[in-house]
Structure 1
Amino acid sequence: MVEGKSKIDIRKLTQDQIRGHLASMGEPVFRAKQVYEWLWKKSCTDFDHMSNLGKSLRDLLKQSFAINAVSVRQAQHSADSTIKSSFVLYDGNIVEGVLIPAPDRMTACVSSQVGCSLTCKFCATGYMDRKRNLNADEIYDQVVLIGKQAQAHYGQPLTNIVYMGMGEPLLNYANVLASIERITAVDGLNMAAKRITVSTAGIAKMIKKLGDDQVRFNLALSLHAANDRKRNEIMPINEQNSLRALAEALKYYYAKTKNPVTYEYIVFNGFNDDLTDAQELAAFCKHLPCKVNIIEYNPIAFADFENASADKIDRFADHLRKKGIITNIRRSRGKDIDAACGQLAIKETEKPLA
């Protein structure tokens, strides 16, 4: 049995709900605010460490509630200073997250699902089964733990968070938004929403929902082809979410939020790397204010794709820039420890605990 299974997961409760539980226990309701601050502002995962609560109350909390904390199972350090961590969850499942240090920023890349159901042909996670969604607190814990690594190894706090790890964030919509609410809340980690980017493979109805919810964080679309035939080939999700449907959803999203969108585009050698592909991408960019991040492909054992040459990538980017499109070339980080974009997958040595 999972420890604490019969107990209430306290981080699934609102402050008002905690207040109600404490009242039913005969405890002063003002304690609810203290408990809530320990959980979310101070990132406490042990009731015994809640030092301004009396021992009797701490014991009562331990009897009634569980804090299903995430822990670092293994951390790997890349030659380029990237740190990849495998995180063990309360039920023994494992996800991965990455700290990406740069001169001007410290970025945490976090996962939103155990595995993934979208089967993108170039992504290692896509070859794993999706076991379950992460809870909001499990996503939050990844941010906290990666933030501690940033402080410990580089003496810097996190500046940015990207939901670009394992899983499709928009298929775990409620928990992803709940995690961002706690990360950005004044009584949470108090990070600015504009420092957070959620990346999706492209689910049109959920992109529209982001617009309806008028989210303040950034949205990135993993595009990789602006041609339905090619995108269907590498991203089966496109068969139900065509480029036309995505364009309509993105225009709706922009009309509601006024947030520009980032398109992520891996340039695969001999597949989507010629002038026609660049022209199709430029045409897709006309739908709304946007920028393009061209990403190096990081080889995985399951696929035969190759990264385009540096010259081809530069020519591709130059064509977009000449069309007035803001275009950045993102160099891979953490390749040597399989921490780069598209490489996150649980290895044999990282399988869930028995």
Structure 2
Amino acid sequence: MKVQKKDIRALSKQELQDFFVAQGEKSFRGTQVYEWLWSKAAHNFADMTNLSKTTRRMLEDNFVINHVRVDKMQRSKDGTIKNAVKLHDGLTVESVLIPTYSRTTACVSSQVGCSLDCKFCATARLKRMRNLNPDEIYDQVVAIDQESRLYNNIPLSNIVFMGMGEPLMNYKNVLKAIDKITSSEGLGMSPRRITVSTSGVPKMIKKLADDEVKFNLALSLHSAIDEVRSRIMPFNTTFPLADVKEALLYWHQKTKKRVTYEYIIWKDINDKKEDIDALVKFCKLIPCKVNIIEYNPIDDGMFQQADERVTNAYQNALERNHITVTVRKSRGKDIDAACGQLANKSS
């Protein structure tokens, strides 16, 4: 009977050590394999050259490394790179490298498809097929870091969980991936350079605070008026702004960290003075900053970017109230790599 091979990266370092001891080997072999899997991101057992051929064959007989592969890479004229990442089961997610003069940022996915139903997001049109495993999230980061070194001659500096999926709906695996990314036995990145962006799942925002996470939190807000937000983000009827506010207060009380609000301004949707006033009021809840994001169309024309005068009005109102605001121009639009455009068009 054929032995069902285990996914070796689902094992902890201790479990790997225990496996080797059970085979009559020294436990440090498990440590060596763990280093190959995470620090060195080995794709196969043959690469583990400080192990004997017999040991590598034993690993081959018992385990698999379900490594992702970049199926298609597109480069934008502004230097942005989009990867169509093929998973071991044939499904595809997308991740993006965004280089600027001061940093290189990886935008990574956490789900195949998405659990939520934001009307303005291409990913929401895909049904959620499954959560990504920690190693699949980790592999996206490794691939982007390698591309950054190759094309920009600098390592990856920042990570945002703003790709496909709602990270807090894959809570356990996202946190395990971040643990590996920030570990000295993994990529050794600072958690201060990682931002997890959520559409607003109050219970899980509170859990982040309880778990004393060290990374940054961003909220995809887009309206501080329940009626408007529910129209563009229907799940808001389940997680209304009152609940989100309560969770954000809890987050700040526990972590003392500010939150970033991601905000797109659309014509005839959230472009009135009452929308601006509501956002200013919302921002006074806890220390925060606002990223006003350029809208990236997803073909059907239902949403249109508001006039630049409205953006200026938002910016002026926020600044008058001493709220930090940045207006972010999208990058990678020509290859559908910009915010809200990830939808596996390449698959």
By the TM > 0.5 criterion, same fold?
A: yes
Kept after mapping to 1: 8 A contact 2:195/2:218: yes
- The CA distance in 2 between the partners of 1:301 and 1:7, in whole Å, is 44
Are 1:136 and 2:141 counterparts? no
1:171 aligns with 2:178: no
Deviation of 1:6 after TM superposition, in Å, equals 2.0
Match of 2:83, as an amino acid? S
Q: Relative to 1, partners in 2 of residues 1:5 and 1:247: Cα closer, same or farther, differing over 3 Å?
A: farther
Whether 1:304 and 2:307 are equivalent positions in the alignment is no
Aligned to 2:274: 276
Distance in 2 (alpha carbons) for counterparts of 1:132 and 1:229? 30
Q: How does 1:94-105 map to 2 (within 5 A)?
A: 94-105=92-103
Alignment-mate amino acid for residue 54 of structure 1: S
**Structure 1 outlier segments of 4+, above 4 Å:** none
Q: Residues 143-162 of structure 1 correspond to what in structure 2 (within 5 A)?
A: 143-162=141-160
Is 2:194 aligned against 1:184? no
Structural mapping, 1:7-26, within 5 Å: 7-26=5-24
Alpha-carbon separation, structure 2, partners of 1:232 and 1:252: 23
- Distance change (3 Å), C-alpha of 1:39 and 1:327: same
Residue matched to 1:257: 255
Distance 2:321 2:89 in 1: 50
Q: Which runs of 5+ in 2 are unaligned?
A: none
Alignment-derived partner of residue 242 in structure 1: 240
Q: CA deviation at 1:316?
A: 1.2
- One-letter identity of the residue aligned with 2:236: N
Q: Residues 310 and 107 from structure 1, CA distance in 2 versus in 1: closer, same or farther, beyond 3 angstroms? A: same
Q: Distance in 2 between matches of 1:147 and 1:20?
A: 32
Listed one character per residue, the Cα deviations across residues 275-325 of structure 1 (whole Å, up to 9, x for unaligned) are: 211110010111111100000110002451001122221221111111110
Aligned mate of 1:327, from 319, 325, 328: 325
Conservation of the 8 A alpha-carbon contact between 2:223 and 2:263: yes
Cα pair 1:202 1:237 within 8 Å, conserved: no
Match of 2:196 in 1: 198
CA deviation string 1:46-102 (max 9, x = no partner) = 111111111111111111111000100001111111011100000000000000000
Q: Is 1:233 matched up with 2:225? A: no
SS in structure 2 opposite 1:287? coil
Partner Cα separation in structure 2 for residue 98 and residue 64 of structure 1: 34
Alignment partners' CA distance in 2, 1:11 and 1:314: 49
Distance in structure 2 (CA, Å) of the matches to 1:212 and 1:171: 17
Contact 2:115 2:169 in 1 (8 A): no
Distance in 2 of aligned mates of 1:47 and 1:257 = 41
Q: Which amino acid aligns with 1:50?
A: M
Q: Which residue of 1 aligns with 2:59?
A: 61
Q: Equivalent residue for 1:266?
A: 264
Query: What secondary structure, in the 3-state scheme, does the structure 2 residue paired with 1:208 have?
Result: helix
Please give the per-residue CA displacement for 1:211-249, whole angstroms capped at 9, x wherever unaligned.
100100000000000000000001112111111100000
Larger displacement relative to structure 2 (169-178 or 250-259): 250-259
Cα separation, 1, equivalents of 2:246 and 2:38: 37
State the aligned residue count.
346
How far off is 1:169 after superposition?
Answer: 0.2
The CA RMSD over aligned residues, in Å, is: 1.1
Look up the match of 1:40: 38
Determine the structure 1 residue equivalent to 2:25. 27
Question: Cα gap change, 1:5/1:83 in structure 2, threshold over 3 Å: closer, same or farther?
Answer: farther
- CA drift of 1:36 comes to 0.6
Counterpart AA for 1:138: E
Q: Secondary structure at the match of 2:284?
A: helix
The answer for unaligned runs of 5 or more in structure 1 is none
Q: Distance in 2 between matches of 1:331 and 1:273?
A: 18
TM-score, structure 1 as length reference = 0.96
Q: Which amino acid aligns with 1:32?
A: G
- Calculate the TM-score normalised by the size of structure 2: 0.98
Whether contact under 8 Å (1:122, 1:303) holds in the other structure is no
The answer (yes or no) to whether the contact 1:113–1:130 under 8 Å persists in 2 is: yes
